[in-house]
Amino acid sequence: MVRLEKRPSPSAFWQWATPILAVLLTMVAGGIMFALLGKDPIAAMRTIFWDPLFNAQFASYSRPQLLVKAGPLILIAIGLSLGFRAGIWNIGAEGQYIMGAIAGAAVGLYFFPAENRLIFPLMVVAGALGGWAWAMIPAILKTRFNTNEILVSLLLVYVAQNILASMAVGAMRNPDGGGFPGSRNLSQYPSAANLELIPGTGMHWGVIAAFMAVIAAYILLQRHILGFQIKLAGQAPRAARFAGVNPTRLVVLCMGISGALAGLAGLFEVAGPAGQISIDFNVGYGFTAIIVAFLGRLNPIGILLAGLLMALTYIGGELAQFMLGLPAAAIQAFQGMLLFFLLAVDLLTNYRVRLGAKREVA
């Protein structure tokens, strides 16, 4: 008989071992899935995890793309992790990412074709405010009317997607684009472009912002009273109230920070790698960042490593589609397995697995 026994306190070993175990289980389950699709599982794993970094044929392109893909994932996941630690569940980062991109791009397009060094900083501010404002909707509804922030933030993603489509074919459509949906290409507009800072590395301002967010979040959680309040609110809500933590203020603050960081990620993406507002601009970074946050154990350093790993699966997945003919849905399922197995094996953090019948104590 197999049973679970509650641990007196969470296991420090399993808190850090479960992400590694989840990655290994994902590779095993993913290999089985690829084999069922008629593909060599070993070749698939090599293509996803090894070739983008160490195969000379692909590395010159793939290595810079690692930072390009990881930047928005890390930036969004850092913001989400602060709320998750406090028990505030912002699931709508994808919508905040979209609205930040729209707000930032709107500023750049408004000044087109003027040349001024202040335009890009204004776009950065607008992107952060766009994501922040979108996150304030579920925050205010929760604090004033006690609505569920999970449902509200998630449903707002679909509203944001419709606004994005409307902008791509309406107000932001390129007047010189021959009627095709999509805005002007911001990456070709020097004052509004988020270009590589060091050519050939993939390093742009979005990547710099992601690294800065990691450092700031680490200092906040380890050295600041607000970080203590965030951790206390998540671990012991009643104790937090007795300690004077204002739950309304914490909800607004955590949702605002996560929304602003997601909006920044959207702005850096639309002004750089994506280049324009289009119907299919959003590629799911806001949802994937949830996996990154949990895979990194809601720890800033862990999120940095998890973001790089998830970016590797993006690049390797695209390479596997091209080289091995794997369907895109299989790669998405492979990425989703990470969260599934992480949640499953995370049980070991709070429970021990015991064999045999439970002993009755006289």
SS (H, E, C) 192-233: HCCCCCCCCCCCCHHHHHHHHHHHHHHHHHHHCHHHHHHHHH
pLDDT at position 124 is: 97
Q: How many CA atoms lie within 13 A of 47 on its CB side?
A: 20
pLDDT digit of tens for each residue in the chain (362 aa)?
A: 777 888 888 888 888 888 899 999 999 999 999 999 999 999 999 999 999 988 888 888 888 899 999 999 999 999 999 999 999 999 999 999 999 999 999 999 999 988 999 999 999 999 999 999 999 999 999 999 999 999 999 999 999 999 999 999 999 999 888 888 999 999 888 899 998 988 888 899 999 999 999 999 999 999 999 999 999 998 888 888 888 889 999 999 999 999 999 999 999 999 999 989 999 888 889 999 999 999 999 999 999 999 999 999 999 999 999 899 999 899 889 988 988 898 888 888 888 888 766 665 54
Work out the number of other CB atoms within 10 angstroms of the CB of residue 27: 19
Listed residue (279, 264, 278) closest to 126, CA to CA: 264
Listed residue (354, 299, 353, 348) closest to 10, CA to CA: 348
Listed residue (74, 221, 225, 93) closest to 157, CA to CA: 93
Domain annotation for the chain: domains and CATH numbers: 40-325 (1.10.3470)
Residue 352's DSSP bridge partners are 5
Listed residue (98, 85, 151) closest to 296, CA to CA: 85
Q: Are 335 and 69 in contact (CB under 8 A)?
A: no
**What is the widest separation between alpha-carbon atoms in the chain?**
84
Residue 158 corresponds to which tokens in the numbers above? 């679909």
* Alpha helix (H) residue ranges in the chain: 12-36, 41-45, 51-54, 56-85, 93-111, 119-145, 149-169, 205-223, 225-235, 237-242, 247-270, 285-295, 300-324, 328-345, 347-350
Residue 354's DSSP bridge partners are 3
Q: How many CA atoms lie within 13 A of 43 on its CB side?
A: 12
Residue 200 corresponds to which tokens in the numbers above? 């050939």
pLDDT at position 187 is: 85
Residues sharing a CB contact under 8 Å with residue 199, sequence separation 6 or more, in sequence order: none
